[in-house]
Amino acid sequence: MSRLKDLFHNKKQNVLNVYCTAGYPAIDSTIKVMQALQDNGADIIELGMPYSDPLADGPVIQASSGIALDNGMTIATLFEQLKSFRHKITVPVVLMGYMNPVLQFGFEKFCQYAADAPVDGIILPDLPEYEFETEYKAILQRYGLDFIFLVTPETSEERVRKLDNLSSGFLYAVSSSATTGGDTDFDAVEKYLQRLQSYQLNNPVLVGFGIKDKQTFNAACKYANGAIIGSAYIKALEGTDDVEATTTKFLDSILK
């Protein structure tokens, strides 16, 4: 059983996935941040691979990507950092990024390195479903990597079901058709999540975009298996010289 399957088998509700940017706030912060997240209650770590044109990300995550790139973070550097991370990190880890740098690295090579690390899943919001089915799905499966698709409130039921069938690990329910870090109308989100719940999908559902505190986390978890926090955590890390203390304070404010 994969780490993600195992997690959702044992924990059906209130699963917390926290996004962090590799190489932020410093080039050598990656493992420190991951360790602090695991130690303070994160169930999944979504590790962002910085890119100069991150279409789905709002200004906070864009800025962290810019800093990480200036720090010298690349996919090759990230995999170097992840070489022995499983000695410390036992929770599922998902890499989130964009196709351009992955293709420059080499898609199959990327999957091989990811599996060797090992990480558990991949999120590439700009990988079209047709290309996924015809070209990349077989490679991901060969290396035992889960692939997570995103759905939005505008996604039709037919397409939600299709993307659910193509996904493994979980389905990423974007709370609104905005970028990460924006404010969210949770009355509208509740209706959307109730609709997704009524489809009785194959995969667990995690809600992302606009989840920033205990109130929004609990609201998102009401009709989904859990939620994803990104921009609020990145903002908390800004300027910190103590990743552990900052992470403890931040996650305590969500979970306690």
Measured CA distances, 99 to 50, 105, 144, 155 (Å): 12, 10, 19, 22
List beta partners, residue 49.
none
Q: Is 46 assigned a catalytic role?
A: yes
Cα gap 183→132, rounded to integer Å: 31
From 39, 43, 46, 183, the catalytic residue: 46
Q: Is 221 left (phi over 0), alpha (psi -120 to 50) or beta?
A: alpha
Please say if 164 is a catalytic residue.
Answer: no
Tell me whether residue 74 is exposed, middle or buried, using C-beta atoms within 10 angstroms of its C-beta: 0 to 12, 13 to 18, 19 or more.
Answer: middle
Which one of 6, 28, 43, 57 is the catalytic residue? 57
Name the one residue in this structure whose structure tokens are 């996935």: 17
| CB distance 143 to 112 below 8 Å | yes
Q: Who contacts 16 (Cβ-Cβ below 8 Å, separation ≥6)?
A: 41, 42, 43, 44, 217, 226, 227, 229, 251, 254, 255
Q: Do 214 and 254 meet the contact criterion of CB atoms below 8 Å apart?
A: yes
CB atoms within 10 A of CB 6: 12
Measured between alpha carbons, how far is 96 from 44 in angstroms, rounded to an integer?
12
Partners of residue 21 on adjacent β-strands? 48
How many other CB atoms are found less than 10 A from the CB of residue 142? Answer: 12
- Locus of tokens 């990423």: 172
Active-site residues, by number, are 46, 57
